[in-house]
Amino acid sequence: AVPVISAEEFIRLEQDRMDMPHELRTADLKTKSGRKIFKNWAFDENIPDKAVLEWSPLAKVIYHPSIQAVNDQFKKVPEKFIHHRTPVEVTPAISHNTAIVFPSCKNNNDARFLGQVATFGVFADEALSRSYKRMLRDHVHYVKTVFDIAARVIKVLGPWSYSALHVRRNDLQYKEVFMTAADTMDHIRPLVKEKEVFYIATDEGRRFFFSYCE
């Protein structure tokens, strides 16, 4: 397992070795100004012993253990998997740094960690690829409170007796993918049982919108 520490713990452990400035050592990360100090330091590519990798999964795909190894293993990685993304690799020059930073939310174009986690990388070793995915499946979960709240809803609906839909209609930036309730039903109809109960999580404000699904 990979231990997870807070930013405060990281500063306390590495401040001397990485020669962190006084303002970072004393920054209160519970405040907006303190977090800005940490973010500016973390994203600064000129600080020694730290690699800053703007590897958005929308623009880059990691080849492991190297681009050459993946190309040697597969004649050609499927274009549908790579799409328009550029292959990258973790070189010794990167891995030898004390800190490796993957900046997120730097702006809307360069550092957005959206996408399906199973497509972040290509492994030359299929067994290792499956091992990483099993790790995510088995150990990356919501906190217990979320499960407790969900269990109350499931108790009312009945375990294994309903289907759940997540339908985003308002804050989603890709307006071109919006569809009617009828189109949604056409997409999922082969998967739906007769008179099956639906649990719909949505930000659609019109109460009648899903009447077609009844």
Using CB atoms within 10 Å of the CB of residue 28, give its burial: 0 to 12 exposed, 13 to 18 middle, 19+ buried. exposed
Is the pLDDT confidence value at 106 over 80?
Answer: no
Is the pLDDT confidence value at 16 over 60?
Answer: yes
> For the chain, what is the total number of helices (H) and then of strands (E)?
9, 7
CA-CA distance, 124 to 55, in Å (whole number)?
19
The single residue listed with the structure tokens 């190297």 is 66
> Between the CA of residue 47 and those of 18, 36, 98, 157, 188, what are the distances in Å?
9, 17, 11, 54, 51
Mean predicted confidence (pLDDT) in 31-45: 95
Is the pLDDT confidence value at 111 over 80?
Answer: no
Of 163, 167, 162, 165, nearest to 206 by C-alpha is 167
Mean predicted confidence (pLDDT) in 194-206: 89
Which tops the pLDDT comparison, 133 or 213? 133
Coil/strand/helix, residue 99: strand
Mean predicted confidence (pLDDT) in 163-176: 84
Mean pLDDT (the chain) is 90
pLDDT-derived band at 26 (thresholds 50, 70, 90) equals: very high
